[in-house]
Structure 1
Amino acid sequence: MPDPTSSSDPAVTVAVAQIRQVEQGQARSPVVHTIFDEATFTASHIVYDPVTREAAIIDSVLDYEASSGRTSHASARKIVDYVHSERLTVQWQLETHAHADHLSAAPWLQQQLAGKLAIGAEITRVQNVFGKIFNAGTEFARDGSQFDHLFRDGDRFSVGGIEAIALHVPGHTPADMAFIIGDAAFIGDTLFMPDYGTARADFPGGDARQLFRSIRRLMELPDATRVFLCHDYKAPGRDHFAWETTIGAERTGNIHVHDGVSEDEFVAMRTARDATLSLPNLIMPSVQVNIRGGHMPEPESNGTRYIKIPIDTL
């Protein structure tokens, strides 16, 4: 097994050093509290520095009823309640990518709790692709300006006094980011629990070969790295939801991409599997909202906001 400290990848080298500092007691480990939204199978994470009480919220959920088009905030209110109960100060509202299976509650949470809204800089590619699919018009900016901050690969930041680094991990979408905060890795839609496998790569702009390389990059992190997932769907034979694992467990036990699986084998498996999958139930509203930073489309002349559904396109 290669030594993670000898990576030729500069950003991974920084991430490894950051995690090693926590392992050696030279830096603090963040506290992570997860709120699981069973309706969308989404794990939203609140991560914070236990000393400064400063926090980041990762991949929040806005409740959306597809049959009526109504939104509500039950899931997001749980985040607000937890932040208040723990007396946290929110610095960041982080999105690992533009989700296709749930709407982001980040703008509403910003109103309640503050925090900069951030996503990967390649969101502009996603905005361009889906801006055309949904015929969003010239009024829809495709420059990422709906977000307060765009992360690039290797960008360093902090949550309170805990060091953090952003890693670009494309494949599921072109814009996926993993946020390594202390010794905790928030990896979005790249890996699932080891018994469930990996994320799909067949959305516009997705690429199974890129996904494999992104995953192998993450697997250069130390075995003990805590890994927090964006989703869980219960693998066959498992009757409970799970969203936390380790890099070591993924490296040795992930059913799709454990050590020894070649890139070509993974691409063949992922391509064949993706061909059998239907689109997520909420892809139409989710993508249109999330490429806008969680904001709804602008009201039309009658004052009502609308979600478009392209016919025979996706």
Structure 2
Amino acid sequence: MSESALAAATARIEAALTTPQARPCVRSFFDPATFTASHVVHDPETGEAAVIDSVMDYDPVSGRTDYRSAQQIVDYVQREKLTVVWQLETHAHADHLSAAPWLRDQLGGRIGIGADIVRVQHTFGSIFNAGTGFARDGSQFDHLFTDGECFKLGALDCIALHVPGHTPADMAFVIGDAAFIGDTLFMPDYGTARADFPGGDARMLFRSIRRLLSLPGQTRLFLCHDYKAPGRDTFAWETTVAAEKAGNIHVHDGVEEDSFVTMRTTRDAGLSLPTLIMPSVQVNMRAGHLPEPESNGVSYIKIPVNRF
């Protein structure tokens, strides 16, 4: 993880904090079935927008898919007359299926994810025995972001930061004064992401979190999930670097790396797998596409027996 990338991100955020027109507009959409927050972020000057971590509805009992959740995003984008240029994924999610290809068909925008998705594809391509027809080079996506890569959203300066640990491919997208950080952190009263999936690493997660928390305190953090911590009655998915540093129950200032790793490893050992991990990973490692239909024209999700 490049220190120059972090310095560049810090500089962009500091500039945005003093320049109101460099602050993006963000509209979030929460899916209670998967506890997922999807975000539409746009440049107020040009109307160029990115959709981040979208959701395709999936019924695990019937295997049916739907786009009710994603349609809300379409309606909002069209109502606000925005121009979508990116469909961004912070990582290959294990708890919901991406709607990025469908949204690209409806609204446009290139599907982007971190370049280390190829590691995820190799790992899970093997676990699910995806066969030689499944490319493990990231080619299902339109763009693979590298650490420190700069891009634009209209007039807004943006940068991608590699923040592995939850998975090898996690990316945070810094857009103006806002950072979209996926599952790396939750709200301060809920803590941090798990690190026990194949390719996860609690020590790397701690270092990625500290990287994010070295950004300016006023940086707005937009999260991918919320599960309502005990005592809190409403869902929340926006916080700040300062709030996380002061109050995150797992990783506030003063928590040492070894202590965090012990806590995270112990906690993860008692967690059950996400309900939708089997369909989610198989779809999301394909950039939101279902597995290729078989000879009868039907796509199938595999369930590896006694593998997890």
SS state of the match for residue 143, structure 1?
A: coil
Is 1:73–2:89 an aligned residue pair? no
For residues 19 and 98 of structure 2, the distance between their equivalents in structure 1, rounded to whole angstroms, comes to: 35
Is 1:42–2:36 an aligned residue pair? yes
Deviation, 1:23, is 1.5
Pick from 268, 271, 276: which aligns with 1:277? 271
1:4 is matched with none
Deviation, 1:27, is 5.3
Pick from 191, 194, 199: which aligns with 2:185? 191
Aligned residue type for 1:63: D
For residues 108 and 27 of structure 1, the distance between their equivalents in structure 2, rounded to whole angstroms, comes to: 31
Alpha-carbon displacement from aligned partner over 1:167-215 (angstroms, at most 9, x marks no partner): 0000000000000000000000100000000000000000000000000
Matches within 5 A, 1:15-164: 15-25=9-19, 28-164=22-158
For residues 28 and 170 of structure 1, the distance between their equivalents in structure 2, rounded to whole angstroms, comes to: 28
For residues 153 and 87 of structure 1, the distance between their equivalents in structure 2, rounded to whole angstroms, comes to: 31
Aligned length: 307
Contact 1:21 1:27 in 2 (8 A): no
Which structure 2 residue ranges, 5 or more long, are not aligned?
none
Pick from 272, 290, 295: which aligns with 2:289? 295
SS state of the match for residue 236, structure 1?
A: coil
For residues 199 and 24 of structure 1, the distance between their equivalents in structure 2, rounded to whole angstroms, comes to: 31
Aligned residue type for 1:38: P
For residues 25 and 143 of structure 1, the distance between their equivalents in structure 2, rounded to whole angstroms, comes to: 39
For residues 201 and 259 of structure 1, the distance between their equivalents in structure 2, rounded to whole angstroms, comes to: 20
CA RMSD of aligned residues (A): 0.8
1:5 is matched with none
1:220 is matched with 214
Aligned residue type for 2:17: E
Contact 2:31 2:69 in 1 (8 A): yes
Which structure 1 residue ranges, 5 or more long, are not aligned?
1-7
Aligned residue type for 1:153: D
Aligned residue type for 1:43: A
SS state of the match for residue 193, structure 1?
A: coil
Percent of aligned pairs with the same amino acid: 71
Contact 1:52 1:161 in 2 (8 A): yes
Contact 1:90 1:113 in 2 (8 A): yes
2:248 is matched with 254
Contact 1:284 1:309 in 2 (8 A): yes
Pick from 194, 198, 201: which aligns with 2:195? 201
Aligned residue type for 1:152: T
Is 1:180–2:177 an aligned residue pair? no
Deviation, 1:51, is 1.0
Aligned residue type for 1:301: S
TM-score when scaled to structure 2?
0.99
SS state of the match for residue 231, structure 1?
A: coil
Is 1:263–2:257 an aligned residue pair? yes
1:240 is matched with 234
TM-score when scaled to structure 1?
0.97
For residues 218 and 297 of structure 2, the distance between their equivalents in structure 1, rounded to whole angstroms, comes to: 52
